[in-house]
Structures are given as C-alpha cells and as structure tokens.
Amino acid sequence: MGQSLRIGGSRAVKSDIVVTDGGPPGAGGAAPAVEVRGITKRFGSVLALRGADLALYPGEILGLVGDNGAGKSTLVNIISGAVAPNGGEIFVGGQKVHIGSPLDARRYGIETVYQDLALAPDLSVWANVFLGRERIVRGPMRYFGWLDRRAMASEAREQLDRTRIRIDSVDALVGKLSGGQRQAVAVGRSAAWGSRVLLLDEPTAALGVEQQERVGELVRNIAAHGLPVLLISHNLPQVHELCSRVAVMFQGRVIATVKTSESSIDEIVSWITGAALVTRRAE
C-alpha cells in the first residue's frame, strides 16, 4: 500500500502526477482517434492497471514506454480486445464502445501487429493478408465458400504497394520470406485493414539495425497517411526518433505524456524509473 500512496491512491495525488505538458499534438483540438479513460485490470491479487488514460490523435505516432510490469502489454491487449478490462471506458472516434474480443476491436478499425507477427508460414502472402476476411466469389459457388483468389491476390498487392511494402510476389509463401519482409507483411496487413489505429507491439525487437530502419520508415509512412500508430517499444532511441509524443507507464498508470521535441531520452528514462515523480513531488 505504501507504493500506491506514493504514486497516488487519492485523486489529489493523482492530479499531481499526471503531466499534461505533452498534451494533444497541434492546438487544433482534433478529437482523439482512440481514447481510453480510467482503465483498471486486476489479475488475481495483482493490480496490473490502476486507472490508465491514453489518447491517440489522427496522424500521430505515439510511443508507449515503461518498465517491465508497468502495464503496457495489458493496456494494449485491452485496446486490441485480447483482454477484458475490469473498469474504465474506451472511446473510438468519440463514441464509447465495448471491446469484448479481437474481432470487436477489428470491427472498430483497431488493428494489432503482434510481437510474433501472427503469420502462417505455409500460406501465401495474400492468404495471410486475407485470413479471417476471405473474399468469396459471386455466383452459386459462394455457398461453398469458394475463394476469389484472383481478387485477393490483386487487392493484397495493392494494399502492400500503398504502404510501400516491398514483396516481389504475393503468391510467395510467407515462410520463404526474410525476417524483414515478414515484418513488413504483418505491418502492411494491419495498416491496410486498420481504419482507426494501428497497435505495434515491439515491432523491431527481433530485427537487425537496417531492418529496424525500414520498419521505422514504414511506420512513418503509415502515420503520414493519417492512420495513428501506437508504438510499444523498449528501444528508447527509436521511440524518441519516430514518435511525436511518448506516453510513459509506471505501476499501472500513464504518469506522463511528453513531446519528443521538448524532452530528452534521459527525461523519458527518469519517468520510466519513477525518479521524475519523486523530483516533481519534492518541488
């Protein structure tokens, strides 16, 4: 309980620690694409989230950082529908929504790129892009679920081209692609389907430096086309470089949201470790 006191079990303390100087990007006052308020999640006796707030605005790349166990994954899993929250609200495009499953999330235009990429290596690129939303032919064969393979192949090609994904053939089996190409397919697939937000969970953890650069380019490209990206990463230099804002989680809450143009990596680190909290409270 000492901990919760320190980071604020009461409203007074809470208002103390939520830093708003990183606020929404641009003073235009655009509505957030996706916003969560006061999300709580308990796993048995462990409080993983203690009222997390987060808002993601159109066209931005928002970094989500924090130490292991700070609640990043839980929060992302709640937004992507993989985990049900105990309390709190989720808004998509200003509307309050209930997300009960990954399918619900997808219906609201929320797409997730998982750390393991969630690709089927024995299927072609187009089949991976369309898995779960296969195109079926018109005509009587539709009753048998007859696949419109040509339509899926050409649409997959277009989708990947739009996000400037470089894949020679959409008929290639995903298992035969390089690690970077697989990453690109996973990101491109989600970017193509996502209409509200793209969640990226540690997208470059398994990649080499050059491939990280490419994924970074890809993410910038996606955001530039208007789809906001929530980037969960341990790679602070990358987060600092790619993101316009960074939200820092500490013990189940988003304790600070900072603009990368105004804060150094060191400052972000001080929030991650909680050191900044102590300083602020001392002031």
Partner 1 sequence: MTATASVGEAEQGGMSPSSEAIGLRAPAFQRILERLGSLWTFGVLVVIVVAFGIAAPSLYTKAAWLSTSEYAVEYLILAAGQTFVIVTAEIDLSDGAILGFSALAGSLLMNNLLNHHLDGGLTTFLGIVVMLASGTGVGLLNGLLTVKLRIPSFIVTLGMMIAVGYGAVNLLTNGNEISNLPSQVLAIGTVSVLGGWLPVPVLVALGVALLTGLALARTRFGLRTFAIGSNRLAARRAGVAVNRHIVWCFGLSGFLAGIAGLMVTANLSTASTIAGQNDELYAIAAVVIGGASLFGGRGSIFGTLIGTAVIAVLTTGLVLANVSAFWQYVAIGAVVIVAVAIDQVRTRTAD
Interface positions with partner 1 (CB under 8 A): 102-103, 106, 112, 114, 116-123, 127, 131-134, 136, 144-147, 149, 161, 164, 166-168, 175-176, 178-181, 208, 210-211, 214
When the beta carbons of 99 and 119 are compared against partner 1, the nearer one is: 119
CB of 180 vs partner 1, minimal distance in Å: 5
Name which of 124 and 270 has its Cβ closer to partner 1.
Answer: 124
CB 261 to partner 1: min, Å: 30
Contacts of 146 (CB under 8 A, 6+ apart): 136, 137
- Distance of closest approach, residue 114 Cβ to partner 1, in angstroms: 7
**CA–CA–CA angle 178, 184, 188 (5° rounding):** 150
* CA 173 to mean position of chain CA atoms: 26
In angstroms, how far is CA 78 from the centroid of its own chain? 11
Residue 89 token pair: 């609200």
Burial (CB count <10 Å: 0-12, 13-18, 19+), residue 8: buried
Given the complex with partner 1, which of 167 and 276 has the nearer CB atom? 167
Shortest distance in whole angstroms from residue 150 CB to partner 1: 12
Min separation Cβ 110 and partner 1, Å = 13
Residue 271 structure tokens: 């929030």
Angle at 277 between CA 274 and CA 279, to 5 degrees: 115
Q: Which residues pair with 258 in a beta bridge?
A: 246
What one-character DSSP code corresponds to residue 136?
B
CB of 154 to partner 1, least distance (A): 12
Cβ distance to partner 1 smaller for residue 96 or 142: 142
Nearer to partner 1, 210 or 283 (CB): 210
Who's near 182: CB < 8 A, 6+ residues apart?
A: 117, 119, 174
Measured from the CB atom, the residue of 91 and 146 that comes closer to partner 1 is 146
